């Protein structure tokens, strides 16, 4: 099993889940700007979309972060990273996964675009703030994680995307429940290993 990543990108969520599961897997960095893997392969021959993550497994390539997260969570059902399909618990995890991917992740886009104006970046920060308000509300009842007490694939994805606030001028102190959530998830041994492996912490 091999995961293709870009350090600090949304692919880090899949990297975290692989680290939580353990076992044998490989990780290869992709330069998405020039479309080349660290090993010198043409990445578009692996994933025609040219995006990360992509997961090579059992002779196939799976793309799209939320799909990979659910696949990995289901493969390690004993760890509780993805609740059983057809349950409300699984629907809640999917709810947060979809929100993170289609709302929060997208809202950050202009903050990473080289051609964004200052006005566009400020508008994006306001948009991100609105999305963070929703996550803050999910955590306001004192739950440890976004869908309850247990850490799931949804928490891994949200953690990675919310972490982009640190490099885009958004202070998380406005959202104390999110800030506490980030500290809890960031302290997990698997998350610490991935942060180090991707060069985000010393």
Please state the three-class secondary structure of the chain as a single string.
CEEEECCCCCHHHHHHHHHHHCCCCEEEEEECCCCEECCCCEHHHHCCCCCCCEEEECCEEEECHHHHHHHHHHHCHHHCCCCCCCCHHHHHHHHHHHHHHHHHHHHHHHHHCCCCCHHHHHHHHHHHHHHHHHHHHHHCCCCCECCECCCCHHHHHHHHHHHHHHHCCCCHHHCHHHHHHHHHHHCCHHHHHHHHHCCCCC
pLDDT in tens, 42-101: 999 999 999 999 999 999 999 999 999 999 999 999 999 999 999 999 999 999 999 999
pLDDT at position 202 is 81
Q: What are phi and psi of 12, to 5 degrees?
A: -60, -25
Cβ-contact 191, 185 below 8 angstroms: yes
pLDDT at residue 29, as a whole number: 98
Q: Cα(8)–Cα(139) distance, rounded to whole angstroms?
A: 24
Mean pLDDT confidence for 121-127: 98
> Could you report the per-residue pLDDT of 14-40, keeping only the tens digit for each?
999 999 999 999 999 999 999 999 999
Per-residue model confidence as pLDDT tens digits over 126-178: 999 999 999 999 999 999 999 999 999 999 999 999 999 999 999 999 999 99
Which of these ranges, 2-6, 158-162, 198-202, has the smallest mean pLDDT?
Answer: 198-202
What does R_g of the chain's alpha carbons equal in angstroms? Answer: 17
Dihedrals φ, ψ of 117, to 5°? Answer: -80, 170
């Amino acid at each position: 099993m091999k995961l293709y990543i870009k350090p600090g990108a949304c692919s880090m969520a899949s990297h975290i889940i692989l680290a939580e599961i353990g076992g044998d897997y490989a990780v290869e960095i992709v330069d998405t700007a020039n479309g080349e893997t660290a090993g010198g392969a043409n990445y578009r021959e692996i994933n025609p979309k040219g995006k990360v993550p992509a997961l090579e497994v059992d002779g196939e390539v799976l793309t799209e972060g939320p799909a990979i997260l659910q696949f990995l969570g289901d493969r390690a059902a004993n760890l509780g990273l993805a609740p059983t399909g057809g349950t409300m618990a699984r629907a809640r995890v999917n709810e947060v996964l979809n929100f993170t991917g289609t709302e929060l992740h997208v809202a950050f886009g202009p903050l990473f675009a080289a051609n964004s104006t200052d006005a566009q970046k400020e508008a994006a920060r306001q948009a991100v703030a609105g999305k963070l308000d929703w996550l803050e509300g999910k955590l306001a009842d004192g739950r440890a994680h976004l869908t309850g007490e247990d850490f799931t694939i949804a928490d891994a994805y949200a953690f990675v995307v919310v972490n982009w606030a640190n490099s885009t001028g958004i202070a998380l102190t406005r959202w104390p429940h999110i800030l506490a959530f980030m500290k809890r998830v960031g302290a997990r041994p698997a998350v610490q290993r991935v942060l180090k492996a991707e060069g985000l912490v010393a």
